[in-house]
């Protein structure tokens, strides 16, 4: 093995050994704490500097608990740098996993984060924010400053009031991919209320709103349901038979129906 490659291999092996030691050490203590400590590692890697108060507020713990968690991570071999009076950071070069992004890719992610933050579905903004934090944690140190700067220099002028009108998108996506029945209480834009059992088929984003296309067992046909009109929703454990049709074929069929019945 070439010398340079050997050094890189040993370095990566050392990083993973430190992480393994950390996991074994914490597993012996408390599982919820393991989840928090792992999340703190991700948070530390997502920015150049994180304060104890930032960590405490994100995880709902006291600042004293944050100090204990930081000491635990340090004892487990995680290279945390403490800047007195400022906060904490992970030593440059420590990345888990070792994924790198180009500056253009990083900028695209930050732009998408700003756009999705204005989306009206709370579940989407929450899950995307969590995913982007993990992505930021593996960016190069020099990229973090640039992404933070870009975040401050972007403004998305959609949904200026930042209204959240639904919280079901992520659940529905899972129901679509797992072919799960959904029970909903629905109130139309004309204030007509109904209970429906539906087979979710596809999601469409149009005019700043999410619309679910689903087979309605009450109407025995496909219907469109606005997510902001769903009053209550429960995903059932019962599966339905997948529909043997693509979204394009669905649109083509609907187009033919409209043409034949103008």
Instruction: Give residue-wise pLDDT tens across range 234-248.
Output: 999 999 999 999 999
**Residue 107 placed within a domain:** yes
Question: Mean of the pLDDT values across residues 180-202?
Answer: 96
With a cut of 70, say whether residue 100 has pLDDT above it: no
Question: pLDDT at position 28, please?
Answer: 38
- Note whether 137 and 191 are same-domain residues: no
HSE toward the beta carbon, residue 103, CA cutoff 13 A: 6
Instruction: Identify which has the larger pLDDT, 138 or 70.
Output: 70
Q: Please give the model's pTM, rounded to 2 decimal places.
A: 0.61
In degrees, rounded to 5, the angle at the alpha carbon of residue 210 between the alpha carbons of residues 205 and 215 is: 100
**Residue 77 placed within a domain:** yes
Do residues 183 and 234 touch, judged by C-beta distance below 8 A? yes
Question: pLDDT at position 158, please?
Answer: 79
Q: How do residues 129-184 score in pLDDT, each as one tens digit?
A: 888 888 887 777 778 888 888 888 888 887 777 788 899 999 999 999 999 999 99
**Residue 98 placed within a domain:** no
CATH number at residue 246: 2.30.30
Tokens read off for 71: 């000491």
Q: 39-48, 169-178, 225-234 — which is least confidently predicted?
A: 39-48
Question: pLDDT at position 104, please?
Answer: 85
CATH number at residue 86: 1.10.10.10
**Residue 12 placed within a domain:** yes
Question: pLDDT at position 195, please?
Answer: 97
**Residue 69 placed within a domain:** yes
Domain ranges, residue 181 = 169-260
- Note whether 192 and 110 are same-domain residues: no
With a cut of 60, say whether residue 97 has pLDDT above it: no
Where a domain ends, among 52, 69, 90? Answer: 90
- Note whether 178 and 238 are same-domain residues: yes
Task: Write the burial class of residue 183 (CB in 10 Å: 0-12 exposed, 13-18 middle, 19+ buried).
Answer: middle
206 closest CA partner among 146, 109, 93, 120: 120
**Residue 162 placed within a domain:** no
**Residue 164 placed within a domain:** no
**Residue 158 placed within a domain:** no
- Note whether 246 and 176 are same-domain residues: yes
Beta bridge partners of 215: 199, 222
Q: How many domains does the chain have?
A: 3
- Note whether 186 and 110 are same-domain residues: no
Q: Is 119 helix (H, G, I), strand (E, B) or coil?
A: coil
Most confident option among 109-118, 159-168, 208-217: 208-217
Report the Cα 102 to chain-centroid distance in Å: 21
Would you place residue 110 in the very low, low, confident or very high pLDDT band (cuts 50, 70, 90)? confident
């Amino acid at each position: 093995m070439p010398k340079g490659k050997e050094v890189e291999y040993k370095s990566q092996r050392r990083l993973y050994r430190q992480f393994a030691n950390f996991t074994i050490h914490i597993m012996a203590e408390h599982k919820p704490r393991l989840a928090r400590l792992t999340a703190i590692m991700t948070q530390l890697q997502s920015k150049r500097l994180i304060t104890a108060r930032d960590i405490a507020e994100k995880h709902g713990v006291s600042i004293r608990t944050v100090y204990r968690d930081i000491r635990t991570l340090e004892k487990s071999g995680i290279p945390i740098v403490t800047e007195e009076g400022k906060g904490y950071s992970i030593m440059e070069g420590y990345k888990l996993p070792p994924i790198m992004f180009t500056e253009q890719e990083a900028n695209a992610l930050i732009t998408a984060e700003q756009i999705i933050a204005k989306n009206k579905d709370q579940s989407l903004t929450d899950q995307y924010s969590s995913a982007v934090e993990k992505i930021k944690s593996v960016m190069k140190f020099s990229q973090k400053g640039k992404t933070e700067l870009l975040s401050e220099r972007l403004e998305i002028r959609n949904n200026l009031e930042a209204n959240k009108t639904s919280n079901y998108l992520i659940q529905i996506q899972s129901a679509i991919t797992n072919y799960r029945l959904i029970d909903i209480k629905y109130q139309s834009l004309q204030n007509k209320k109904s209970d429906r059992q539906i087979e979710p088929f596809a999601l469409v984003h149009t005019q700043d709103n999410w619309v679910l296309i689903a087979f309605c067992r009450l109407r025995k046909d496909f219907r469109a349901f606005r997510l902001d009109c769903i009053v209550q929703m429960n995903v059932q454990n019962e599966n339905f038979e997948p529909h043997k049709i693509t979204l394009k074929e669905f649109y083509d069929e609907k187009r033919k129906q409209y043409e034949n019945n103008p």
